[in-house]
């Protein structure tokens, strides 16, 4: 699908922290070039004056869905958008919002008091459970270069390449010390989709898997290594489910 330049781009936020939007807003070095080819609509973080446009070429969607009113807004957005792109872990899998799981009622009550348990909400769901998603950008938050590459590709009527290697490969490229092998740390790098340049292991922090599962991930072997390192089954499950995805 090819659009006339400037493309009409909207950003809609659902249940999320706005970190994904900030990633695009923080692309200062590319703003001049972007402003020549992109026209912003429905982007409340940038300006409340951008309004609710009738027609959108590309809708970027951040956050998970947690209420009927959010679903209604998402469906209306899908109807008017030429392309819909889910951005960030919350939109792709439910993200860290899913962590409360069975403790949801207790969490709602402890944060909002009794009225919290009566609100019309449901457990966080990813965007693709409700509408067709044309493209996904992973990460918590996503990488700036992936947002910019996606916009550039759309301007040329296509999509960017898909990342198919695991975070471990980026560690090797960067010559990082392996936290899994050398420290027996619970690093999810072997089964996580690359693209972040092994950001966390690069500073000595085990990968949490925020970019989702890479194709052909060998989860069984990683679990075996985690068991051997002394992690309990529950610890491993919590770690694997942290970003809302059971492998
Ligand atoms: S530190 Fe983690 S991501 Fe890096 S090579 Fe080791 S297991 Fe892979
Ligand atoms: S290293 Fe893992 S947790 Fe850190 S940004 Fe990359 S994918 Fe996300």
**Which ligand 2 atom lies nearest to the CA of residue 202?**
1
Any atom of ligand 1 within 6 Å of the Cβ of 176: yes
* CATH class as words, domain 7-155: alpha beta
- Which long-range contacts does 234-239 make (Cβ < 8 Å, 24+ apart)? 235/186, 236/186, 239/186, 239/188, 239/208, 239/209
User: Is the separation of the CB atoms in 113 and 89 below 8 Å?
Assistant: no
**Which ligand 1 atom lies nearest to the CA of residue 177?**
1
Q: How deeply is 103 buried, as exposed, middle or buried, from its count of CB atoms within 10 A (0-12, 13-18, 19+)?
A: exposed
The residues spanned by each domain of the chain are: 7-155, 167-241
pLDDT digits (tens, 9 = 90+) for 11-58: 999 999 999 999 999 999 999 999 999 999 888 888 877 767 788 999
Cα distances from 145 to residues 30, 55, 141, 151, in angstroms, run 10, 26, 12, 10
pTM of the model: 0.92
- Rounded to the nearest angstrom, the distance between the alpha carbon of 227 and the centre of ligand 2 is 22
- Rounded to the nearest angstrom, the distance between the alpha carbon of 215 and the centre of ligand 2 is 16
Q: How deeply is 29 buried, as exposed, middle or buried, from its count of CB atoms within 10 A (0-12, 13-18, 19+)?
A: exposed
Any atom of ligand 1 within 6 Å of the Cβ of 167: yes
pLDDT digits (tens, 9 = 90+) for 175-217: 999 999 999 999 999 999 999 999 999 999 999 999 999 998 9
Confidence of residue 244 (pLDDT cuts 50, 70, 90): low
- Rounded to the nearest angstrom, the distance between the alpha carbon of 149 and the centre of ligand 1 is 26
Q: How many helices (H) and strands (E) does the chain have?
A: 10, 5
């Amino acid at each position: 699908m090819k659009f006339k330049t400037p493309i009409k781009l909207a950003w809609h936020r659902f249940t999320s922290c706005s970190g994904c939007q900030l990633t695009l807003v923080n692309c200062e070095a590319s703003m001049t070039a972007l402003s020549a080819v992109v026209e912003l609509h429905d982007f409340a973080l940038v300006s409340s004056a951008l309004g609710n446009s009738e027609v959108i070429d590309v809708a970027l969607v951040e956050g998970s869905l947690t209420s009927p009113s959010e679903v209604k807004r998402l469906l209306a957005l899908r109807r008017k958008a030429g392309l819909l792109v889910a951005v960030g872990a919350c939109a792709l899998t439910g993200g860290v919002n899913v962590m409360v799981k069975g403790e949801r009622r207790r969490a709602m009550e402890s944060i909002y008091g009794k009225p919290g348990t009566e609100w019309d909400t449901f457990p966080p769901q990813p965007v693709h459970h409700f509408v067709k998603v044309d493209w996904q950008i992973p990460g918590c938050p996503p990488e700036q270069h992936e947002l910019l590459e996606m916009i550039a590709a759309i301007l040329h009527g296509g999509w960017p390449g898909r990342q198919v290697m695991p975070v471990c490969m980026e560690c090797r490229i960067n010559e990082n010390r392996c936290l899994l092998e050398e420290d027996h740390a619970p690093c999810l790098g072997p089964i996580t989709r690359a693209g972040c340049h092994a950001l966390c292991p690069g500073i000595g922090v085990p990968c949490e898997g925020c970019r989702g599962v890479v194709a052909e991930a060998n989860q069984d072997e990683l679990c075996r290594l985690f068991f051997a390192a002394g992690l309990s089954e529950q610890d491993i499950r919590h770690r694997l489910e942290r970003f809302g995805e059971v492998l």
